[in-house]
Structure 1
Amino acid sequence: MLGELPESSSLFFSGGIDSTLIALRLSELKRTDVNMVNYVSGPNDISDYLASQVAKHLNLPINKVYFNPNDIPDILNNIIRDYSYPFVDASTFIGNDLARLTLKKLGNTPVILDGSGADCIFVGDMPIYLKFDKLYKVPLVAQKAISEAYKTFDMWKSYTPLIKPFRAFRRTALMPIQSLELGCIFDGITYNIPDQILNNLKGMYTDNISALFEGYEENTKRLNDYKFTSVLNVIKASSSGSSAKSYDFLRRNGVKLVCPFFDPKVLRLNYSIPWDQKTSEEPKALLKKMLVPQIPQELINFPKQAFLPIHEILDNEVMRDYIDTLVFNQNGPLCEFFDIKTVRRIFNHRHKHMDADFFTHLWIIIFTSIWIEQLKTSFSSKYQSAIK
């Protein structure tokens, strides 16, 4: 697949395990014409160093693009143009900005490669589920009591080591391990999902899709749960997660987005590997083995962590205007679904404590509100033009 790429294609490259696996294969194929593009989101973004070092070892050229707060208004004002549905992943902003900057820097690039999906396909996120598995062994009554304490005492205001277990139980009390990704700590705090809808949601991700596992040899219940979760994560990521953050924008500009880890050949390879070879308490253990010895161990184990310019985004003047007129407005698009007062409290607390969970939740509300409002405006203007 990579050998057949058109000339001057590009790769979104962070220097992390997933994109490095693709870059390694490109290096083996001597595809030095492929542009590796690294997004630097701020002075604390360590992927700047990591990407440069990995590219040097692979002897591949690398292009740097940089986050600029001045680009925020253009992204926000064109949400309805860039997204066919309100996609609300925390990395939406960076994904969109990276796509824009790549085209601006490189001009015409026929194909862009995205390394998303390797985690859920090769079970690189297994350590997360191993940790949560211990919490699920606690009686459900106790889980719900701890979860309720998180809500009652406004523990969302901090994320200290003492609070972390409360937040974790907030998720386990809501969803079984197979559907852990669907659990949100703010359910019951800023919004309420009716029990019937919540149960139906659980059913869609357990009972209805369990048919996928008919005929599988089940060694233990625990492994069956993880197999189940792994397949569901692949379905979720491939259908609505990995590429959606930039797909519509790139397609509109004539660029094809390709996620190699979701290629059917790669998926078949993945499911031919014995389960015990893929599971490990070390994150991405199998993927890391694939990089040895071409990449030095210190770079493979380098503590990569995406730097999200949260405050620059939330404090932007245009963003604040959208928040005030759409999110905190009693007549806003989502005012019937969220407790506006609590959302305002969370927003006002952002400079004291704001991690990825909080930003994602605020982004869901903000992004969806803007998308709906821009959709209404678009329909209204087209209707007015049609009747003239």
Structure 2
Amino acid sequence: MCGIVGFCDFNKRSNADVLQKMTQSLHHRGPDDSGTFFEEQSGFALGFGHTRLSILDLSPLGHQPMRVGKMVITFNGEVYNFMEIRERLEKEGCTFKSHSDTEMILYAFQQWGPSCLQYFRGMFAFTLYDEEKQKLYVVRDRVGVKPLYYYHKDNTFLFSSTLKPFHMHPAFHKEVDMASLGLFLQYSYIPGPHCIFKHTQKLLPGHYLEISLTNRDIKLHKYWDVVDAYNQPKLDVGDEEAIRETEKILSESFNYRMVADVPVGIFLSGGFDSSAVAALIQKDRTDRLKTFTIGFDVPGFDEAPDARKIAKHLGTDHTEYYCSPKDAFDIIPNLPDIYDEPFADNSSVPSVLVSQLARKQVTVALSGDGGDEIFAGYNKFSQSIKYANGYPQWVKRSIAKTMGIINPDHIPVLNQQYNFSTRYEKMKHILQSNDPSDAMNIISQYIPQQEVKRLVAKEYKDYKTFFDLKEEFAGHNDALSKMLGIDYKTFLNDNNLVKIDRATMSVGLEGREPFLDQKVIEYVSRLPSHLKLRDGVTKYILKQIVYKHIPRELMDRPKKPFIAPLTVWFMNELKDFFLNYLDEGRIRREGLLNAEPILAMRNQYLSGKKVNHQKLWNLLIFEMWMEKWMK
């Protein structure tokens, strides 16, 4: 796990000093080593930077940027099957100097060009310079585990693992993209490829850019898409065969993620996903895995006792830590630096804490991310099907029409319930929809689009996102398959993976997601939906696998979200954050948001009324980000 950064400047105004500053800003992602590559030719200046967190081949031979022949690379991530590919390359005459997957990528590109990507199993983002062909290749892994941003304006192309280094380059013009701000307020994250800054994008997962250094042409190529996996013919298999094959693929994927020359641990929440990772890896080992859990002294939020019981059953070397309001208070001011694009999933707080806890003992940590999106673990899937298809259309239309006449704020008793007006408006729009995918999109919004328009001070044209993807699925996909595919390309990629990457990297810890091997989704996407969601039971097939290794009585309990209890803490310890950042003078000076509705919402919440705390959290995070990055 590392940080990568660089530029291709056709104006030739970039230099080695700028490159060095950009690279140094990513020190937290790679504290063990750093390096740069700078070259000027007649038509451009080219710079690569790299900060290294040593995981494989800890020797100086793994130093980056790395050159082999006429190719140079700066690489972030891991290709877990690199030894298998290396053996194939050796048979074709390649001679290796190191034991790193970085060198393998260079030789693979020499031999096969971009088609080599089909062989890679792992998480990666890299930029490769082919001097002979005068081309740059900017590549991101299939799922988007590893981040990669790029900025393109006025013949200057910048790329980086995060946005921080762009601020170090004089050609970067930091201007807030209003449509992306709207998306952030809606979802609490910004769905790709969009970014908070104009002229800036996230490189889409499963894609690469091909940049010609002679004619400055930039082409975007797709080499993998989860929709293509869902569009494959469905398998006709029974429970027993599906369970056996799924466990086999999971075990292989999980154990690939144990390949490292440094200590490895597991984030264990006590839920089915992280428990599956711990169980399937521990069962084949005599050494005790290290597992880590964060707990909270607030009822309804604490999973630590459950995780402790599972760790004891599996025989892992378990560590837990109880998060206090002070712990959260210490982290919250640093969130705009850790997440240098607005990001408001409040589970980022415990994610940073558990990363800090794990980093004291290990350099690599595995998580259970992806299990819910692959095996249908979220209630929003069944809710969307129920709301969209569970009632006759004439009934839904009639109810929605009536709801459109009534102001929810004028309904006695109900208008005192938590977040009632927002839930009322969302339900009205869900009833007007006949498609579960549309219903899921509405459910996924913390602030409905109509309300966002009232909060944002400037007009903007809405962006399309992958929530609008339903027409790309083949006819044999049912509603659940479409929603799973969409969630894989939205919430998983731009929320969950962002959360864990930035949290782990903030302390120099490599996070790995064992569920996100392409072999897992390419098989499970072809399984019939009743093996994922059956009679109201979520993650059916995964649960059957876990029950083989952990007793049901330890696992069967209500699902708890991995979030900090900010709703409890805000009214007391965190109140000053609202008063400081959601301040009328500040909001008016910036000119991006409307002060009146924000102040009204803030004052209602602080007076004890049941206002949606996530709305205020989104606004708070944005204002903290503005103070950090837009001054």
Same fold (TM > 0.5): yes
Per-residue deviation, 1:111: 1.2
SS in 2 for 1:305: coil
Is 2:614 the partner of 1:360? yes
Corresponding position of 1:73: 329
- Paired with 1:37 and 1:148, the residues of 2 have a C-alpha distance of 51
Q: Is the 8 A contact 1:147 1:173 kept in 2?
A: no
Is 2:373 the partner of 1:120? yes
Is 2:345 the partner of 1:89? yes
Is 2:417 the partner of 1:158? yes
Is 2:549 the partner of 1:288? no
Corresponding position of 2:581: 326
**1:56-96 per-position Cα deviation (integer Å, ceiling 9, x unaligned):** 22122211011022223331221222012111123222222
TM-score of the aligned structures, taking structure 1 as reference length = 0.79
Q: Is the 8 A contact 1:11 1:112 kept in 2?
A: yes
SS in 2 for 1:40: strand
Alpha-carbon spacing, 1:168–1:131, altered in 2? closer, same or farther (3 Å): farther
Corresponding position of 2:594: 336
SS in 1 for 2:312: helix
Q: Identify the match of residue 270 of structure 2 among 15, 39, 42.
A: 15
SS in 1 for 2:365: strand
Please provide the CA RMSD for this pair.
3.4
- Paired with 2:538 and 2:397, the residues of 1 have a C-alpha distance of 28
Corresponding position of 2:254: 2
Alpha-carbon spacing, 1:285–1:128, altered in 2? closer, same or farther (3 Å): farther
Which stretch of the first structure deviates more once superposed, 362-371 or 144-153?
144-153
Aligned 1:1-388 pairs, distance under 5 A: 1-3=253-255, 4-6=258-260, 7-30=262-285, 32-44=287-299, 45-103=301-359, 106-107=360-361, 109-125=362-378, 126-133=381-388, 134=390, 137=393, 138-140=395-397, 142-143=399-400, 145-146=402-403, 149=406, 151-153=408-410, 155=414, 157-159=416-418, 166=424, 169-170=427-428, 172=430, 177-183=436-442, 184=445, 186-187=447-448, 188-189=450-451, 192=454, 201=464, 205-206=467-468, 210-211=471-472, 213=473, 216-218=474-476, 224-280=478-534, 281-306=536-561, 308-315=564-571, 317=573, 319-332=574-587, 333=590, 335-336=593-594, 339-348=597-606, 351=608, 353=610, 358-377=612-631
Q: Percent identity?
A: 19
Per-residue deviation, 1:330: 4.3
Which stretch of the first structure deviates more once superposed, 121-130 or 287-296?
121-130
Corresponding position of 2:19: none
Q: Is the 8 A contact 2:306 2:554 kept in 1?
A: yes
* Larger-gyration structure (1/2): 2
**1:138-182 per-position Cα deviation (integer Å, ceiling 9, x unaligned):** 43453254266464437553159x999847614515875314343
**1:108-149 per-position Cα deviation (integer Å, ceiling 9, x unaligned):** x22111112211211233433333232684434532542664
Q: Could you list the runs of 5+ residues in structure 2 that have no partner in the other structure?
A: 1-252
Alpha-carbon spacing, 1:123–1:348, altered in 2? closer, same or farther (3 Å): same
- Paired with 2:511 and 2:541, the residues of 1 have a C-alpha distance of 26
- Paired with 2:619 and 2:486, the residues of 1 have a C-alpha distance of 25
Per-residue deviation, 1:244: 1.7
- Paired with 1:338 and 1:95, the residues of 2 have a C-alpha distance of 33
Structure that is richer in helix per residue:
1
Q: Is the 8 A contact 1:250 1:256 kept in 2?
A: yes
**1:311-349 per-position Cα deviation (integer Å, ceiling 9, x unaligned):** 4541355x4333113214243255338722442244225
**1:341-386 per-position Cα deviation (integer Å, ceiling 9, x unaligned):** 442244225x4647xxx23222111111111111124xxxxxxxxx
- Paired with 1:195 and 1:77, the residues of 2 have a C-alpha distance of 30
Alpha-carbon spacing, 1:72–1:112, altered in 2? closer, same or farther (3 Å): same
Q: Is the 8 A contact 1:150 1:156 kept in 2?
A: no
Q: Could you list the runs of 5+ residues in structure 1 that have no partner in the other structure?
A: 378-388
Q: Is the 8 A contact 2:272 2:543 kept in 1?
A: yes
Per-residue deviation, 1:31: 6.5
Alpha-carbon spacing, 1:328–1:353, altered in 2? closer, same or farther (3 Å): same
Give the total of aligned pairs.
358
Alpha-carbon spacing, 1:9–1:170, altered in 2? closer, same or farther (3 Å): farther
- Paired with 2:338 and 2:432, the residues of 1 have a C-alpha distance of 33
- Paired with 2:423 and 2:575, the residues of 1 have a C-alpha distance of 33
- Paired with 1:174 and 1:113, the residues of 2 have a C-alpha distance of 41
SS in 2 for 1:283: coil
